[in-house]
Structure 1
Amino acid sequence: MNKASDFLIALDDGHGMNTGGKRTPIIPELGKYIPENEFNKAVVSFMDRYLREIGFRTLLVAPTDSDTSLKARTDLANSKKADVYLSIHYDAVSDIWGKVEGHSIFVYPGHLNEKSGKLGECIAEFLKQGTAQKWRGIKEHNFHVLRETNMPAILSENGFMNNPREARLMIEPVFQKEVAIEHVKGVCKYLGVAFV
């Protein structure tokens, strides 16, 4: 087994709290919408805690509620020579309620069989064991945080903001912690570190 302290994990909580359009439709029972970052930030906070408890070093690339630029995030991760980059998100296809559902992981095009793809497979193994959701697979996309990082990087979409059931999961602490633990277990498996 490898030592957790040998590894630096870069954590990216997706969009800023006030990024336009990154939110659920209005939820009638709540009388408001849920910003995507309310979920992303909570999950990254739990991941940060769990990773440090295991012994990993962590790097929060967007530590405030403002919308840190993508370049600033990847530049920081690269300058600190992070070993892994994890970007946490919640998906959407429109701003009205729909039936599309499920979670997925993205890697840079051509990297499915590279280190990023392996990292994605390790995390996917545990995501699929959690709350019942449609597994949409490991996909390729030219996202900045996947293209401009010098280390294995994945972007996970953990549900759909415009799906009524999955939108409500966004603010459930039990679900937030579960998603965090699933990612942490995947990182541990990928890096050969014991999950405790």
Structure 2
Amino acid sequence: MSTKKRVNNKTKVKNTSQRKITKKRKKRINKKKLILLFSMIGIFMFGMVKATTGISTVAKNIEAKKQAEIEKQKSLEAQKQFNIEEEQTDGLQKKYTVVVDPGHGGKDPGNKGYSTRNNKSEKKVYEKDLALEISKKVAGILSRQNDVQVVLTRTEDKFVEASERVKTAETQNADVLVSIHMNAEAGGDSAYGIETYYRANAPSNDKSSHLAETIQHTIGSYIKMRDRGTKEDIFQVLRDTTMPAALVECGFISNYKEEQKLLDEKYQNQLSEGIAQGVLTFLDEHSK
């Protein structure tokens, strides 16, 4: 073989080796680029998650503050509506004072509803919330009467001692106290209907039983219900007050069907009308 051919062969081998080295370098460079790219993507995704979490937290905080402001405004409006000041009455002297007492509140939820049907859980229902809603409606109806002043023992979801409720009724020199509650069946869910309680062991001149009977009867003329009648008891708001007083158990929230009725605003309106008209009928019958 000639010298020229050997040189050409060596050149070919050298060129082939260089190409192989170049390819290996390119592969290493491509791997580094991929690693760098994935790292950047990872950093970007982490940043996006953090940013999204931050935005979500801020949004929740804003919504919570907004809801708190709404609740505060509702409370102020309720206070303004039901604690009527003298200058808002156009100089009219109120003839009657009615204390409406929404049962429970705050840390004391009262009875709990069991809104579960067909294995589908729904929002938990508490006595304190329904009692407040219905009490506000009752107070609203009563306050439309020119000769009736209405006082609520609470206008928001807060705990009020039974002794404070009694004190409110006594210091206001109330003509009538009506306390609003929801019933529940211990260990069952079949009981339903409305019943009204009055003061037990009352003196002969006490009119609480008549108040309870009038409210119970009048409710029945506004809504279709199972009439569980009137009963006497020693609930503190009945026992320790001196004016005619009644405690209305507006229905069983342990019974799914009745609970659903109590959650319906139209039903609440009719029930509240029945309670309020019962109070007004009693006041008319025992006019001072």
**TM-score normalized with structure 1 length:** 0.89
Q: Distance in 2 between matches of 1:16 and 1:174?
A: 23
What stretches of structure 1 move > 6 A for 4+ residues in a row? Answer: none
Change over 3 Å in CA distance of 1:106–1:52 after alignment to 2: same
What CA deviation, in whole Å up to 9, does each residue of 1:58-100 have, x standing for no partner?
1111223112000011111101101100000110123x65111
114, 121, 141: which one aligns with 1:50: 141
105, 109, 116: which one aligns with 1:27: 116
Name whichever structure is richer in helix by fraction: 2
Say if 2:130 is the partner of 1:39: yes
Q: Distance in 1 between matches of 2:207 and 2:137?
A: 24
Change over 3 Å in CA distance of 1:97–1:51 after alignment to 2: same
Say whether the 8 Å CA contact 2:193–2:250 is kept in structure 1. yes
Aligned residue number for residue 78 of structure 1:
170
Q: What amino acid maps onto 1:13 in structure 2?
A: P
Question: Per-residue deviation at 1:22?
Answer: 2.0
Question: Per-residue deviation at 1:168?
Answer: 0.7
Question: Per-residue deviation at 1:47?
Answer: 1.2
Q: Unaligned regions of 5+ residues in structure 1, if any? A: none
What CA deviation, in whole Å up to 9, does each residue of 1:5-50 have, x standing for no partner?
3000001001115424522024345622111122111111111111
Aligned residue number for residue 238 of structure 2:
146
**TM-score normalized with structure 2 length:** 0.61
Say if 2:182 is the partner of 1:182: no
Q: What amino acid maps onto 1:135 in structure 2?
A: D
Aligned residue number for residue 156 of structure 1:
248
Aligned residue number for residue 165 of structure 1:
257
Question: Per-residue deviation at 1:121?
Answer: 1.6
Say whether the 8 Å CA contact 2:222–2:273 is kept in structure 1. no
Q: Distance in 2 between matches of 1:167 and 1:79?
A: 35
Question: Per-residue deviation at 1:111?
Answer: 4.1
Q: Distance in 2 between matches of 1:112 and 1:105?
A: 19
Higher relative contact order, chain-length normalized (CA < 8 Å, sep 6+):
1
Aligned residue number for residue 67 of structure 1:
159
The alignment yields a C-alpha RMSD, in angstroms, of 2.1
Aligned residue number for residue 195 of structure 2:
104
Say if 2:101 is the partner of 1:9: no
Identity fraction in percent: 25
Say whether the 8 Å CA contact 2:132–2:156 is kept in structure 1. no
Q: What amino acid maps onto 1:48 in structure 2?
A: A
- The 10-residue stretch of structure 1 (11-20 or 56-65) with the greater mean CA deviation from structure 2: 11-20
Q: Distance in 2 between matches of 1:151 and 1:32?
A: 38
- Secondary structure at the aligned position of 1:51 is classed as helix
Change over 3 Å in CA distance of 1:21–1:150 after alignment to 2: closer
Say whether the 8 Å CA contact 1:12–1:88 is kept in structure 2. yes
Q: Unaligned regions of 5+ residues in structure 2, if any? A: 1-91
